Structure 1
């Protein structure tokens, strides 16, 4: 949330306990107070240090009592991103109708293309520089899902409820 009170979708590309690089389509000024909420990390208050081509760098101001828990969450995310274990649990298909609409953060709508699909999840390429955080609850077409990881140019999601077996084939439309 920027100083004007508007909420802006953003993505952290790098983060430490002292600063964060954010990709965001927000008009902010150096020195402006910003409160950043990162899923699975929490609320991170700070001030804009530098404007970048894709967003801005934020100097974080974490109280001492919050540094330990935030550091533990950052470490957990770093370890998880380094895992190379295959996380897929169900067979995948590539549907004929691959175009899909992604909705999140009140009224944010992104266009995507399904790369592959299972009854329990999907890999989706996004036509946007805005990418929701891992852990964000989104709507993929008419199905609710949670983002479980970022892909090169997209996201992997897990559906809140598995797709119906009777309609799960190459003709499915999300």
Structure 2
């Protein structure tokens, strides 16, 4: 990371440092340790963990820092997908200036408040991952024997999906949702929930997702 820091243009570094300082004044940072993954412009995914976070910025412990000003896409447990730019390179990670709408920042603020108070107030665990409703909701379930079942996607997370369909499938049975291998983990009236064999990539996780 030191070699990367040596390549940063001084003007660019000062600019993002000022932006990060302004962010710290506007938003209260919450010390929270969330596991996640992130992707830089090389489109490679790397593991990370948060040190602290606010609606406008997040500090990550990670091995690959990229360059100041570089676009970064992060997926964090409980928070979901966020985007931003690398604001500072740190000895053990990076500080990121989050790019988000006012609505998204309000949502992050609510999530951070919940995370900060969860243990103290004894609140129950939330769902592991943020969920979206894809525009392309129709899907086909392909069963182990080759049978196909029409289904409608209720919502999707990086780790699984809820589906409306006819009939019941045994728990832990293998299915393919569209082109995505999964297994049945829960049944409910009128449908079922599946867990993907491999998590989806955060870079394609939005309403335009096609399984």
Normalised by the length of structure 2, the TM-score is 0.40
- Indicate the structure with greater helix content: 2
Normalised by the length of structure 1, the TM-score is 0.48
Greater Rg by CA: 2
